[in-house]
Amino acid sequence: MSSDFLLYIIGGAGALFVIVLVAFLVLRQIMNKSGDMVKIRQLQKGTKENKFSWEIMSQKLYLIYNKVPILNRYLRKLRRRLEIINLEDEYLIRTQVAKILTKSLLIIVPATILIILLTKNDLMLMAILLIFEVFIIETFMSGMVDKIDNKILKQQIDFFAEIRHAYHEYNMVEEAIYQVSQNDELEISRQGERIYEILVSDSPEEELEKYYDIAPNPYLKEFAGLSYLTKEFGDREVDGASLYLKNLNNITQEMQLEILKREKLDYVFQSLSFIAAAPILAIEPIKNWAISQFSFTAQFYDGKVGLILQVALVIITFVCYMLVRKIKDNRNNSGMGQSENPWQNKVYNNMFFKKLVDMFLPKKGTKEERKMNQLLKDSASKQKIEWIYVNRITLAIVGFIVTFILFLQMHNIAIDYVYTEPVGDYDIVGQMSEQDARQGMEITENDNIYLDKYKNNNSITTEILLRDLRRDDFYEGVDDEVLTEAADRIYEKLQVVNAEYLQWYELLIAMLVAVLAFYGPIALLHFQKRMRDLEMEDEVMQFQTIIMMLMKIERVNVEIILEWMERYSNIFREQISRCVNNYESGAWEALEQLKNDVSYMPLIRLVESLQAAVEKIPIADAFDELDTERAYYQEKRKDSNERLISKKGLIGKGIGFAPMIVLFVGYLIVPLVLIGMTSMMDSFTNMSTMI
C-alpha cells in the first residue's frame, strides 16, 4: 500500500471528524434554544447531587460499619432506638446511625492515639484509659440519640398547634392529622402519618395497641389514644370550647413542662459527667508534678501504696461516672437499647455456666426470689434474674482475679523499685542533680550484685555483707563507716526483696473484693430504685392529667382510666396492672387491693376517688377538683419538677465531685503532708545525732 494512499485515508478521516464535530456543535446549539430542552433542564434542576453528598456517603459508611465486628454492635444498639423515632424509614435510620458513628470515630480514634502515645510507658494506665474511653464514647452516642428524641418532642409543640388550626377547618380528627402530616418532612410527620393510618384502619384498637409499644414518648401515646376516643365517641363542647382541643392543650402543657425539665437537667449535668471522669486523666500529670517538685514522694507514688491509691481512684471514678449517668436520666435504664439476646443470655445458655449460675439462683417460690423479682420491678430493670446473677458471678470472678494480679504487681513494683532507685539523700524540695543521680545509680547497680547473690537467703547478716564489701573493688579505699552504711543499706534491701511474696491475707482480701463485687449489681438496682422513688410525685401528677382529659369524654369509665394509667405508668406499673387484671372479678375489690399495694398517699387518694366513681357518683364529679383547680395543679407540677431537679442536682454534684476530691486530697495533699512530715522528722533526727 503506497504512502499517498495512506495520506488520503488519514486526511479523509480527519475531515470526517471535523464535519461530525461541527454538526454536533450546531445541533447542540439548536437543542439548547428549543423549549423541550429548557423544560428538561428545569425538571433536572435541584435533583442532581453535588460531587460530594453526605447522604450518599452515610449509606456507604453504614454498610462498612455493619461489616466491622466491634462497630456493628454499636450500630445495632443505635438502630434499636432510632427505629422507634423514625418509624421504618430505613434510609433515614441508616443516615443517622452512620452520622453518629462517624462523629464518634472522629473523637475516639485521635483520643486512642493520644492515650497510647502519652501512656506507652505505663501499660496499666493505658488499659484503664482505653476501657474508660469505651464508656465515654457510649455516653456520647447516647447523648446524640437523646438530642434526636428531644428534637421530636419540640416538633410536637408546633405539630399540635397546627392540628388545632386544621381541626377548626375540617372538624374531623383523622383529616386534620392527615393534612398537617403532609406539610413537611419532619420526624413528627411520620408519627402523624402512622396515627392517621391507625385511625382509618379496619381494626384501630389493635393497631393502636401496637403503636403504644413503639411510640417515642408517652405524649404521642396520649395524642393517639385521645384522637381515637374522639373519633369513636365524638367531640363535645365544654365551657364553650372543644373538649378535644382542650385536651390537646393539656398534652401540650405537659410537653412544655417536660422540655423545660430536660433542659434544666441537661444544664445541671452538662459538665458533671466530665468532672466525674476527669480524675483519671489527671493521675499521671499530678504524679509527675509531685515527683518533680518533691523528689522524696517518688518512693510513695512509684511504690505499692501509690499503686493501691491509683486503682482505688480508678474504681471510684468508674462507679461515680456510672451513677451520675443514672441520676441524670432514670427513664431509660437499659441504655441505648436492650438487646434481646445479650451476652448474659448466651453465657447462661451454655450448659456448664448454666449449672454454675443455678447454684447461686434463689429457688423458685422462695422469699429470696420474690424479693429479687420485686427489686427488678421497682428499679425498672429490663434484665432477667438469671442475667443479674450472671453479672454478679462475672464481677466476683473478675474482682478476685484483678485483685490477685494487683497484689502480684505490687510485689513486683516493690522489688523493681529496690533494683532501680538511685541511692542518695533527698532534700525536702527539688530533685537530685544529674551528677548525684548518676553516682546514685552506680551504687544501686553495685548493690544489685549482692541482691542477686543473696536473694532468698534468710541466713545472711550484715557481717557477711561487710566482709564481701571489703573485698569489692568498688569500695576500695573507703573507710569503715561508709562500708558499714553500705552493708546496712544492702541488708535492708534484701529484707524488702525477700519479704515481697504473696501473703495469705492478700488472698483473703481478694476474696473480700469478690464478695463486694458480687453484691455490686444489687446495690446498683437499689440505687436505681431510690432514683425512681424521687419521681413518684411526677408520675401521680401525670395520672391526674390523664384523668382530667378522660373524665369528660362520654362512655369513658373507671376501667378505661385504669388502662390508660397502666399504659403510661412506670413506677407503679406492676400494681396498676394487677388491678386491671382483677377488675372484672370485682371493681371495688380490685381498687382496694391497689390501695393496699401502694404506700404513696397521693396515689391512694386518687384510687379512693376512682372507687367513688365506680358505684356512687359520675367520674366528672369524683375528680371535679382537678378541673376547678387546674391552675393550682399546674403550679404544683412546676414546683415538683423544680424540687426533683434540685434533689437530682444535689446528689449528682456530690457524686460527681467525689473522684476529684479523692484525687486532690487523697492522692496529692495527704501523701505530701504525711511524707513531708516523716522526711522532716528523719532530717531532725539525723541533725540531732550529728550534734
Cβ atoms of 327 and 655 closer than 8 Å: yes
Selection from 605, 608, 531 nearest residue 570 by Cα: 531
**Residue 32, pLDDT score:** 58
Cell of 264: 434544666
Widest CA span in the chain: 121
Cell of 495: 529484707
- Residue 440: how many CB atoms within 10 A of its CB? 16
Place 21 in a pLDDT band, splitting at 50, 70 and 90. low
Place 210 in a pLDDT band, splitting at 50, 70 and 90. confident
Cβ atoms of 332 and 326 closer than 8 Å: no
462-481 residue pLDDT tens: 787 777 777 777 777 777 77
- Rounded to whole angstroms, how far apart are CA atoms 374 and 372? 5
Q: Give the three-state DSSP class for 535.
A: coil
- Rounded to whole angstroms, how far apart are CA atoms 544 and 565? 9
Cell of 395: 464481677
- Provide φ and ψ at 238, rounded to 5°: -130, 120
Average pLDDT over residues 517-521: 88
More confident residue, 331 or 294: 294
Place 103 in a pLDDT band, splitting at 50, 70 and 90. confident
Residue 253: pLDDT over 60: yes
**Residue 334, pLDDT score:** 41
Q: Which amino acid is at 259?
A: I
CA-based R_g, the chain, Å: 37
Place 13 in a pLDDT band, splitting at 50, 70 and 90. low
Residue 226: pLDDT over 80: yes
Residues 6+ apart with CB under 8 A from 83: 93
More confident residue, 176 or 124: 176
344-364 residue pLDDT tens: 778 888 888 888 888 888 888
Place 511 in a pLDDT band, splitting at 50, 70 and 90. very high
More confident residue, 315 or 637: 315
More confident residue, 478 or 106: 106
Residues 6+ apart with CB under 8 A from 470: 483
Lowest mean pLDDT among 146-150, 175-179, 379-383, 535-539: 379-383
Residue 161: pLDDT over 60: yes
**CA-CA-CA-CA dihedral for 536, 538, 543, 547, to nearest 10:** 150
Place 539 in a pLDDT band, splitting at 50, 70 and 90. confident
**Residue 427, pLDDT score:** 47
Residue 119: pLDDT over 80: no
Cβ atoms of 144 and 165 closer than 8 Å: no
Residue 510: pLDDT over 80: yes
Average pLDDT over residues 213-226: 86
> Average pLDDT, whole number, for the chain?
79
Residue 566: pLDDT over 70: yes
Cell of 385: 434474674
- Rounded to whole angstroms, how far apart are CA atoms 222 and 120? 55
Antiparallel, parallel or unpaired: β 241-242 and 237-238: antiparallel
628-669 residue pLDDT tens: 666 777 777 778 778 888 888 888 888 888 888 888 888 888
Residue 379: pLDDT over 60: yes
What own/partner pairs with CB < 8 Å and gap ≥ 24 does 36-44 have? none
- Residue 19: how many CB atoms within 10 A of its CB? 10
406-461 residue pLDDT tens: 888 888 887 877 777 777 654 444 555 667 667 777 777 777 777 777 787 777 77
Cβ atoms of 295 and 496 closer than 8 Å: no
Place 4 in a pLDDT band, splitting at 50, 70 and 90. low
**Residue 9, pLDDT score:** 60
DSSP lists the bridge partners of residue 237 as 242
